[in-house]
A = this chain, B = another copy of it.
């Protein structure tokens, strides 16, 4: 075809590298995009590992120095999927080189980094995106549509938890995600950031927050080798956990709704329990990522005799994204949320429209993370 090709360079090849690669590989198979997406180059510091990743994930080339990727004139988009402490450096360099910049969330490890990143893309005038992929689950996009259609009326409550349990064992080692200098924060930036983004996406900006951070287990065995959370092994020496195991906060939204946000890695039995509930005068909505193809909807206009929460399988042709895949109730998985995000991003990129979510969302998210930390420190409410 005569479609333009967008060449992508991906920095990072671990869990997020795998998910992003899958999205680039699959997006054109399910979506009728206005552009071709080429998996041009993947980049990582360990040559053997990145070479293997290139082969397994399907990239045409690999590099071990991200600067070479940025400098490559063939490449249009730099996608930053590395640990948080390297986001700013790479993303800013990419922006300054005039590249479109995609970035994993949270965009930076600190508010200052996020601010510099946003400034960089805005100053450079380059398109930018942040991978808050859960916005792109069909059920979440349906929730957004129901709200925009006024089906929930005036919104009173937002109630979100993101619960996991992968570090409950005191012998689980001190991996990079538990070190502030690499990860920025713990449950706060890793998973609370997701429900913060969903709250902002669905209800709008926050007005004020009040919350706490907590570390239940303060010393852990040092990991024998720094690895992703799935592959770490413990050693004999102990080190200090410098991030939060759990972060919880109350919020008031600018629209008057009250919110609760709770993220924890100590909720035994909860594996990926990203659940939110919204209560409005017109109805309510419940979503749970572990059953991501479903949305519960209570329609307050239904007569009492038959009202109740309706279990919508957001898998119909009429639902966002779902029609691109399989027939009704033939579910999709986690990987598809990234495909949907990339589909939207590539389409908007082609059409010259801002991508959503983008670095503004990433920055606003970071402002909230920062406010929660300050609230914790000051034991009081913080105005946004």
Give residues in A with beta carbon < 8 Å to B.
15, 19, 21-22, 25-26, 28-29, 56-58, 142, 145-146, 156-157, 159, 161, 163, 165-166, 168, 210-212, 214, 216, 229-230, 246, 248-250, 252, 256, 258, 260, 262, 264, 266-273, 277, 279-284, 289-293, 297-300, 302, 304-313, 315-319, 325-336, 379-381
Task: Give A210 to B309 CA distance when docked, in angstroms.
Answer: 31
Note all chain B residues with C-beta closer than 8 A to A315: 271
- CB pair A212–B258 under 8 Å, yes or no, is yes
- CB pair A325–B335 under 8 Å, yes or no, is yes
- CB pair A331–B333 under 8 Å, yes or no, is yes
Task: Give A293 to B249 CA distance when docked, in angstroms.
Answer: 31
- Taking CB as reference atom, which chain B residue is nearest A151? B306
What are 29 A-B contacts with C-beta separation under 8 Å? A28-B56, A29-B56, A29-B57, A145-B305, A156-B264, A156-B266, A168-B281, A210-B210, A212-B252, A212-B258, A268-B298, A269-B298, A269-B307, A271-B315, A272-B328, A273-B329, A304-B316, A304-B317, A304-B318, A305-B312, A306-B310, A308-B312, A325-B334, A326-B334, A331-B333, A332-B334, A333-B333, A333-B336, A379-B381
Note all chain B residues with C-beta closer than 8 A to A319: 305
How far, in Å, is A91 (CB) from chain B's closest CB? Answer: 25
Note all chain B residues with C-beta closer than 8 A to A165: 279
Note all chain B residues with C-beta closer than 8 A to A293: 333
Note all chain B residues with C-beta closer than 8 A to A336: 333
Copies in the complex: 4
Note all chain B residues with C-beta closer than 8 A to A214: 258
5 smallest beta-carbon distances between A and B, as pairs: A269-B298, A271-B329, A272-B329, A330-B334, A333-B333
